Chains A and B, each alone.
Chain A
């Protein structure tokens, strides 16, 4: 499955899920983030507008990544 990772306000990346390295039985959202150079502690992953736990296996072809904005 090809997955589109859309980092809000930045680039969108397409990844082949089978090629994403993982320690879990299947690649997780955290593994996807690692592939695009982000930490799960600096972003939230949304699927269909809803936040998902990053340790879960990727089930959607399109994910949106919300970056944390520093400071106030």
Chain B
């Protein structure tokens, strides 16, 4: 089977577009989608200048998604004096698993000659995920603890590094799953938050001055294509599943989406684009309501660590307390 765009042999078929692509045109197509998303999300503001460059921190886990994102952003912006890229890796204290992926991160950032920072739950919080899953004082899935700690460190370090933007490697499958989960859970507040925190074009997001804005420029690329890109580019991505992974509901949604996609190619794309449009409307609506009420949610400083939260003690500190 020939490539849709040239005479070379195709290496993949995208049922949602009908295209068969050779290695060269597949690579080009993935890179184009990431760059188009960077433009559509207004990630590089008009007033960015080489004299006052922006710092973009990439959440770099060493898995295929963040490795592919880092490589494409590096290829796009390494020569651009308006943007400085920094890789930020978090070691959760998962023996074997994370040690290997940290090596992948070091190898990649060395090769790209990119700044790289490594932080760990152990140094920051005095805990390791391997122990947390043993204790499990809140009777929760491992990912529920880990997500709270990871988000805390990502935002704390993004701020410490003077980040203007925090980028993560969420792909189309990840975001379509999240969209569908928020919808099925009827969580309209979460949908509005999703838009303001990471989905909306930077210029259209509601005021969130307390937090470093986030972005997900890989979200137009299906997970399978991200993996294929890492494979054909021979990137040092780490390929082992987290031994504590246990997001049962997400797994169910993932299977549902595979089945839908099989019979109705393009379902993930249409879920996400419709969701983003609705999320923008809901976010606007909520911002209007908040103004009428005299402000948004009551944000205050956590009594323990000082980070921004809606509670007296933030979620991270209350989890750390129950683990102590």
Question: Interface on A for B, CB 8 Å cutoff?
Answer: 39-44, 50-56, 66, 68-72
Contacts and interface: CB of A to CB of B under 8 A. Distances in A.
Interface size class of chain B, counting residues whose CB lies under 8 Å from the partner chain: 20 to 34
B261 A41 contact: yes
A38 B321 CA distance: 42
B62 interface: yes
Given A53-B12, A56-B1, 14 more contacts: A39-B258, A39-B262, A41-B222, A41-B257, A41-B261, A42-B224, A42-B258, A53-B1, A53-B11, A69-B63, A69-B64, A71-B242, A72-B62, A72-B66
A51 B173 contact: no
A2 B173 CA distance: 33
A41 B223 contact: yes
Interface in B1-55: 1, 10-13, 15, 20
Give the secondary structure class of A's interface: loop
Given A41-B173, A43-B224, A44-B227, A70 B245 contact: yes
A53 B262 contact: no
B10 A53 contact: yes
Given A44-B227, A70-B245, A72-B66, A51 B12 contact: yes
7 contacts: A39-B262, A42-B224, A51-B228, A69-B64, A69-B227, A70-B241, A72-B61
Given A39-B258, A54-B13, A66-B231, A72 B173 contact: no
